[in-house]
Amino acid sequence: MEAHEAAASGASLRQLMVALGTPVADLVAAPCGLDVEVNDVVILDPDDEPDSYAGDFVLIIGSRGRAAARLIRDAARRGASVVAVKVGKGDGAVADLRAAATDERVAVLAVRPEARWDQLDSLARRAVAEAKATPPLDTDDANDLFSLAQTIAALTGGSVSIEDSANRVLAYSRSDDEVDELRRLSILGRQGPAGHLAMLREWGILDRLNAGDDVVHVEERPELGVCRRLAIGIRADSELLGSIWVQEGGNRLTEQAEGALLGAARVAALHLVRRKTETTSGLRIQEELLHSVFESRVDATTLASHIGADPAKQAVVAVFAPYGADRQAETDRPARELHSAAISNLVSVHAAAYRRTALTTTIGSHVYVLLPDLPPDGGDALALGLAREIVAAARKRLGRRVRAAIGSTVDQLDAVVESRNTADRVMNVMARGANDVATMADVRAEVLVSETLSMIDGNPHLRDPRVTSLITYDLEHGSVLVPSLVAYLDLLGDVRAAARDLHIHPNTLRHRIKRAVTVSGLDLADPRQCLFAHLQLLAATTKRATDPVRPG
């Protein structure tokens, strides 16, 4: 007997089924459900002395079918949670095995005769090890892929496998029909067999999957053990993430098979993007920690101790955001997630090169960087240099346009929320400018005006009714007195310059300004009235420009 020391927690039967699945093993019975825990994997030979198998997955070798029922009962009584035995086709042993499982309250898997015990042992141990090291979310994602494969099988009437870009099998459907040699070897080996992959390459199938989004037909080749099948590439943007294969069995594939594959490829792309871009649990904890500090749910001392930073030294926060995204990235969710992850990774790598203790976190479409442990002098220059480097690298390496806003440098780590807020304020006004990198010093006037407009918009009691009446007049009469007056005030009363910007004659603008004064009752000779009227008009026109439906 071969055993390993049991851990405190391990994989569930559900996770084992995801890792093994058909055609390696079938579930005969699970009287305690699929969430029973497996702590370790044990190989049991009939000649072994009885031992304790508390919470173990016991592989019974050297005995199969009905003859293994006694060993199943013995293993169960010694604490086994799952037992696997080999069962041949048509030997009538399943009923006896199910009875033993039900009586002893133990899960039983029937292993196919052609499966190797060493392979099963390796797959099971890997599943247990990954379950101990991986958050439950990862298992849910794997289950989602298997569920998707089963759905595709139901829609197409075939046997489905989902592979990554290296032709490794990630998930597959249950197979009621006989599977061909290509499918059998792919699933047993968890990867497309080299010989068959060479044939698919020779026939041009793999090139066609790489080339576009169309469904590819693979004709039947009985002499090579290959049934008819359909395939489609799984793509995000221009990157091939994997493929879906549907093998035809005894019945023809359904008429909607091709349409089902097109939709399934788009759904699968989201799963594979997340598998490709998901951070490890350690990095995820760090990201969440920084996010919590920004929301004042965690104190800076806790953050400092976690990353090994000095909380008494200066720190700064910078924020990065993509802009000018292409239309496909705006509408294609997998492409959007892939682009976001690529930018986040780029920022993380560059930030870590600048500061060992640097942290990044993604909130929405924005990637935030915390740079702690700054020197007493030169912290601003360091952050500015990093931001410019990242913006340039994003354009050159990723082909993406990214803006960077740098917050205020704070004296201690516990003031990073202030730095983050400053970075956000700078970013909020950068959309109206041409700069790709900015600090508060670069856009202070724009920030002040933007925040003043927000205050006016949020406090109706501050608004001058004379300006409101002018706005209402324009809406009711379809006139353009408001934009004319705004242009005039923007240029400090320079009629010729404002008329040139509006592409009208100066006398036309003079007439409009006179009409605006008559309608509203404003006194443009009063500098304070001019200033406040200008701000209120800017607040109104900015809001109307961003409203999905304009009044009037």
- Read off the CATH number of the domain in which 111 is found: 3.40.1390.20
Q: If pLDDT is split at 50, 70 and 90, which confidence band does 280 have?
A: very low
Residues 417, 534, single domain; the answer is no
Residues 152, 177, single domain; the answer is yes
Cis ω for the linkage preceding 23 (within 30 of 0): yes
Residues 373 and 412: their CA atoms lie apart, in Å, by: 9
Residues 112 and 395: their CA atoms lie apart, in Å, by: 53
How many domains does the chain fold into? 4
- The residue with tokens 């959007």 is 336
Is 362 contained in some domain? Answer: yes
Is 266 contained in some domain? Answer: yes
Sequence-separated (6 or more) residues with CB below 8 Å from residue 460: none
Residues 428, 292, single domain; the answer is yes
Lowest mean pLDDT among 408-417, 453-462, 503-512: 453-462
Residues 240, 176, single domain; the answer is yes
More confident residue, 166 or 392: 392
Is 398 contained in some domain? Answer: yes
Residues 147, 171, single domain; the answer is yes
Residues 302, 251, single domain; the answer is no
pLDDT at 402: 92
Residues 295, 432, single domain; the answer is yes
Mean pLDDT of 242-267: 83
DSSP 229: E
Residues 410, 497, single domain; the answer is no
Q: How far is CA 99 from CA 37, 306, 384, 390, 465, in A?
A: 21, 53, 71, 64, 85
Is 455 contained in some domain? Answer: no
Is 450 contained in some domain? Answer: no
Residue 2 has pLDDT above 70, yes or no: no
Domain of residue 31: give its range.
11-133
Residues 295, 437, single domain; the answer is yes
DSSP assignment of 239-286: EEEEEEEEE--SSPPPTTHHHHHHHHHHHHHHHHHHHHHPPPHHHHHH
Run of H or E including 359 = strand 359-363
Residues 468 and 466: their CA atoms lie apart, in Å, by: 5
Q: How far is CA 252 from CA 22, 70, 377, in A?
A: 22, 43, 74
Is 4 contained in some domain? Answer: no
CATH of residue 300's domain is: 3.30.70.270
Does residue 482 contact residue 474 with C-beta atoms inside 8 Å?
yes
Q: Where are the beta strands (DSSP E) in 287-335?
A: 314-322
DSSP assignment of 509-547: HHHHHHHHHHHH---TTSHHHHHHHHHHHHHHHHHHHH-
3-state SS, residue 235: strand
Is 446 contained in some domain? Answer: no
Mean pLDDT of 196-221: 83
pLDDT tens per residue across span 109-139: 888 887 888 878 887 887 787 666 544 434 4
CATH of residue 153's domain is: 3.30.450.40
Does residue 82 contact residue 13 with C-beta atoms inside 8 Å?
yes
Residues 268, 291, single domain; the answer is no
Residues 185 and 303: their CA atoms lie apart, in Å, by: 50
Q: If pLDDT is split at 50, 70 and 90, which confidence band does 28 have?
A: confident
DSSP 158: S
Residues 356, 425, single domain; the answer is yes
Among 79, 114, 133, residue at a domain's last position: 133
Give me the torsion for CA of 272, 277, 280, 286, rounded to 10°: -140
Is 47 contained in some domain? Answer: yes
Mean pLDDT of 310-339: 75
Residue 314 has pLDDT above 90, yes or no: yes
Residues 432, 306, single domain; the answer is yes
